[in-house]
């Protein structure tokens, strides 16, 4: 019981900390599309807003659609893939934390 409480406290602490890599990945995406049309840069800004608002599924769907409908440069592809990977990780962490909290409540 005590071990689970300690683990849960650590998980909550780690997930509540600011994640500087998130901002870095979002900035990388914005920067990689800096020379594109205003409409596309606005679309990228919307994806970044969704990511910052923790709308994981929405941001991931928009990134997937972007990848499927445009020919990306190497820099853009890397930025899209990296942000998508970070969003999936964050989404999994959120799900894991919620499950851990439910398990602790059930005990």
pLDDT in tens, 61-95: 999 999 999 999 999 999 999 999 999 999 999 99
Q: What angle do CA 39, 45, 51 make, to 5 degrees?
A: 145
The pLDDT confidence band at residue 8, using thresholds 50, 70 and 90, is low
Quick one: which of 85, 72, 86 has its CA closest to 33? Answer: 72
The pLDDT confidence band at residue 23, using thresholds 50, 70 and 90, is low
Residue 32 burial class via C-beta count within 10 angstroms: exposed 0-12, middle 13-18, buried 19 and up: buried
Cα–Cα distances (Å) from 91 to 6, 23, 27, 77, 78, in that order, read 22, 16, 19, 21, 20
Handedness of CA 79, 80, 81, 82 (dihedral sign): positive
What does the pLDDT look like over 25-67, one tens digit per residue? 899 999 999 999 999 999 999 999 999 999 999 999 999 999 9
Q: How far is it, in rounded angstroms, from Cα 63 to Cα 85?
A: 11
pLDDT over 60 at 22, yes or no: no
């Amino acid at each position: 019981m005590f071990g689970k409480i300690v683990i849960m406290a650590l998980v909550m602490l780690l997930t509540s900390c600011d994640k500087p890599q998130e901002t870095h990945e979002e900035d990388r995406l914005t920067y990689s599309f800096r020379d594109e049309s205003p409409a596309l840069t606005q679309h990228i800004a919307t994806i970044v807003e969704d990511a910052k608002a923790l709308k994981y599924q929405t941001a991931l769907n928009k990134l997937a659609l972007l990848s499927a409908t445009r020919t990306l440069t190497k820099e853009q592809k890397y930025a899209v893939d990296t942000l998508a990977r970070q969003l999936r990780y964050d989404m999994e962490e959120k799900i894991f934390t919620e499950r851990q909290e439910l398990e602790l409540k059930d005990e």
